[in-house]
Structure 1
Amino acid sequence: MSLGGGNSTEGSNAGGIFVQFNQDCTSLVAGSSSGYHLFALTPDDGVEEIYASRSGQETCLVDRLFSSSLVAIVTVSAPRKLIVCHYKKGTEICNYSYSNTILAVKLNRSRLIVCLEESLHIHNIRDMKILHTIRDTPPNPRGLCALSPCVDHCYVAYPGSSAVGEVQIFDAVHLNAKCVISAHDSPLAALAWSMCGRRLATASERGTVIRVFAVPERTRLYEFRRGVKRCVSIACLAFSACGAYLAATSNTETVHVFRLQEGGERAPDDAAAPPEPGWVDWMSQTLSAGLVYLPAQVSDVLSQGRAFASAKLPRAGCRAVAAVTNVSRAARLLVATSEGVLYVYALDAADGGDCALLRSHPLLDCAPPACDGRPGACVRRLTSCDVPAVAAGCSYAGALRGRHPDHMTESEREHELGAALAGSPPRGAYDIRDPRHFPPMRAPDAAAD
């Protein structure tokens, strides 16, 4: 979930910084003129800086694999080079150069995708070898693509046309084309996968209608109307982890949240499951019952779902990326902007409506001061945690033997990748209600009594 929903404009620092949530929305990254920063979300609606690269190189793209130590980076000074790092060790594991500018980088636990304007490169995350290249794709100057977070349905979605909203679905494990979805009449502007990899959200450059499809069945499951304005640019689409909500940001100051009432997948603990149908659902059913008596064009517009909830940003025009998640079992809407500020909103899971601003956090020193939603109240939740970085071009294994990383053996590289792919325990305050914060408990044996 990144600025621009996978577009190159999402990741460029022009007019602001690069900001992106990781795949399960437990942390976020920010690229700046001095390097990149990693932040963890805490159970008290706070944010903690866990790493700052301080490399001195302006970062235009950066993506972290879930809560692991693996980070993929592209810098402004070398836009055709992908650098894969172990951030905790401050080491460079490997790097790859491409024939053109890298517009987007996507990760899951099985694959790494590099998107160029007219090609897609698929790497095996375990050894970073290139498995397949999709060549001669339709011109994609914004680098629009999306990779499913789920390895069981490891699909890549990208534009199949530069003239209409056609989506190509490619199986990144079996390395074959899966299906084609005719999503919109206008060219695509945003794509997003649900956590299960079976739902794909799409938006076009027209920006008024958002659709959700089942993959690979190509069935249209939902259709939402964001508004009636023209020339609205959708910047980001993002499913909640439970699959019950879909957030959308645009170049306006309003962030919309839509509720998927019927087919949403559930999180493992079902913590974010939507409540029983309320008055909003009753009104929707009543309206749908009367659509058969209206002209087709009118009924099509009225049958489209409306936003379940919305939040207002302080100003319009800032690129923003959103996430819907749980903080201490309470639903939250998180919005990070290219100004370098993270906004935390309360999301009423029962009635929706206007989301109240709870906190705002500056991600970088140049960002505006943070506040907790109360007039005149400012807080600073960031804790710098600088890790000494090894000089560029020297990996951990290579440094031990006094050799350049290009001379690293395959076994050494795989060892470094395996160490980086290992997950990290949750950071911040421990929540006694969250089982992830504690080891499993076993009842004592009867003989021990």
Structure 2
Amino acid sequence: MSLGGGQNTEGTNAGGIFVQFNQDCTSLVAGSSSGYHLFSLTPDDGIEEIYASRSGQDTCLVDRLFSSSLVAIVTVSAPRKLIVCHYKKGTEICNYSYSNTILAVKLNRSRLIVCLEESLHIHNIRDMKILHTIRDTPPNPRGLCALSPCVDHCYVAYPGSSAVGEVQIFDAVHLNAKCVISAHDSPLAALAWSMCGRRLATASERGTVIRVFAVPERTRLYEFRRGVKRCVSIACLAFSACGAFLAATSNTETVHVFRLQDGAGGAGDEAGAGEGEEAAGAGGGAGAAEGGGWMGWLASAVSAGAGYLPAQVADVLAQGRAFAAARLPATGHRAVAAITNVGRAARLLVATSAGVLYVYALDAAEGGECALLRQHAFVEAAGPHAPAPAPHEESERAGELGAALEGSPPRGGYDLRDPRHFPPMPARDPRDL
């Protein structure tokens, strides 16, 4: 998920800058009025600028392919044009123009996806040839879509309806529709893939419930309740690389972290997870964050007696609460999150459209309140303008793309599949109650 300013994109924040983390959360990219910027995270919870284009072009979208030199950008002055660059060489590899404003750009090692309001364009990232166009999609003015980082499960998720929270899943390698998920009653607000490409997190415009589905099985694996006091606008959902945690930002000051665990409760690497399996890292159940309180007790009671409560009541009370939470020092700016490791310590990173990165400590075992360790103002005032790179000829495109691609780095929720969380109850005669 990302955020930006200058157009009505998925992460728009009027007057702010565009910010997002790359696919494996090893770097931060930003688009500002002076161009685009790339940052890396340092072992001491710091941040280091590794590149600044200084082109003088107000950049409203930018994405970097993992840790490679390949960068895709869209500028405010040419919102229908996608520019693909080799940033280390300072060269433009190619550019494409589309029929309407580009609202989102997504990359993995196999595909590049361009999202317009009513269509999606799928490119082969090796030569940038367009492979397929999904036309006449439901109106999607925020450019909401998500591309799996995993080439083996190279799925694109996008809204299948503008009225309800239906998700269309498209296979970007085999170029066919995979499945449809009825995720929410309200229209979608956020989508995020796990690193293995087998789990999809969703949130609706209502903003109270976050769900995680297995793909392509369409099985609902987890449900989390962000809150019950007020409806909010979810800005970002982000899985940790190991798949054990899911972070959510909104228009409030609180960033929530949910913990996911399979019934087996074992640790492992999500990248090697098979069907229906994924590492849970630190482990723990849905009530871990508050299992000792009355809500934890009530949730357990609801699970045991779910058959005797109205379905809507049982669903609400059985949803998992946040395992950990962080409070932002300032509000009013859209935020994106990432969960990663610095050294051997888990960190929650939150970048805002104000150009500030907050680094929080995340206790992977106990959860709770995340302590703010450091904050960095990472985008300075626009510097001297550098001349825009000249476009290269078509014959040089494949070589530039090949060079740019080098260096690509090779208390949780209730598990709805675990009968221990929802034990079977014998049928009883209502007259006995």
- TM-score range, shorter-chain basis? 0.7 to 0.9
Task: Say if 2:390 is the partner of 1:393.
Answer: yes
Task: Say if 2:340 is the partner of 1:325.
Answer: yes
Range that drifts further, 226-235 or 285-294: 285-294
Structure 1 residues 44 and 290: CA distance shift in structure 2, 3 A: farther
Report the RMSD for the aligned CA atoms in angstroms: 2.5
Report how far residue 408 of structure 1 moved.
2.8
Is the 2:260–2:280 Cα contact (8 Å) retained in structure 1? no
State TM-score, norm by structure 2: 0.85
Structure 1 residues 48 and 10: CA distance shift in structure 2, 3 A: farther
Matches within 5 A, 1:187-336: 187-262=187-262, 266-267=269-270, 274-275=281-282, 277=284, 280=288, 284=296, 286-287=300-301, 288-292=303-307, 294-336=309-351
**SS of aligned partner of 1:300:** helix
Is the 1:248–1:256 Cα contact (8 Å) retained in structure 2? yes
Report how far residue 317 of structure 1 moved.
2.2
Could you tell me which of 327, 345, 353 is aligned with 2:368? 353
CA distance in 2 between partners of 1:269 and 1:157 (Å): 22
CA distance in 2 between partners of 1:366 and 1:100 (Å): 30
2:355 match: 340
1:56 match: 56
The count of residues paired between Structure 1 and Structure 2 equals 392
- Counterpart amino acid of 1:416? E
Deviation string, structure 1 residues 386-426 (Cα, Å, up to 9, x no partner): 9x9663333xxxxxxxxxx2x431xx211100000111689
Task: Say if 2:164 is the partner of 1:156.
Answer: no
Structure 1 residues 142 and 277: CA distance shift in structure 2, 3 A: closer
Percent identity of the aligned residues? 84
Matches within 5 A, 1:93-132: 93-132=93-132
Report how far residue 266 of structure 1 moved.
2.0
Is the 1:319–1:337 Cα contact (8 Å) retained in structure 2? yes
CA distance in 2 between partners of 1:147 and 1:8 (Å): 20
**SS of aligned partner of 1:67:** coil
CA distance in 2 between partners of 1:334 and 1:289 (Å): 37
CA distance in 1 between partners of 2:155 and 2:3 (Å): 21
State TM-score, norm by structure 1: 0.82
**SS of aligned partner of 1:177:** strand
- Counterpart amino acid of 1:266? D
Report how far residue 280 of structure 1 moved.
1.7
Report how far residue 268 of structure 1 moved.
6.4
Deviation string, structure 1 residues 176-227 (Cα, Å, up to 9, x no partner): 0000000000000000000000000000000000000000000000010001
Could you tell me which of 362, 377, 394 is aligned with 1:362? 377
Structure 1 residues 390 and 415: CA distance shift in structure 2, 3 A: farther
Deviation string, structure 1 residues 318-342 (Cα, Å, up to 9, x no partner): 1000001111011110000000000
Structure 1 residues 280 and 140: CA distance shift in structure 2, 3 A: same
Is the 2:225–2:321 Cα contact (8 Å) retained in structure 1? yes
2:16 match: 16
CA distance in 2 between partners of 1:228 and 1:81 (Å): 42
CA distance in 1 between partners of 2:375 and 2:270 (Å): 27
Task: Say if 2:173 is the partner of 1:173.
Answer: yes
Is the 2:188–2:202 Cα contact (8 Å) retained in structure 1? yes
**SS of aligned partner of 1:280:** coil
> Structure 1 residue runs of 4+, over 6 Å off?
none
Task: Say if 2:431 is the partner of 1:416.
Answer: no
Provide structure 2 residue ranges, at least 5 long, that are not aligned to the other structure. Answer: 274-278, 411-433
Is the 1:60–1:75 Cα contact (8 Å) retained in structure 2? yes
- Counterpart amino acid of 1:225? R
Provide structure 1 residue ranges, at least 5 long, that are not aligned to the other structure. Answer: 368-383, 395-404, 427-449
- Counterpart amino acid of 1:145? C
Is the 1:147–1:154 Cα contact (8 Å) retained in structure 2? yes
CA distance in 2 between partners of 1:210 and 1:89 (Å): 42
2:77 match: 77
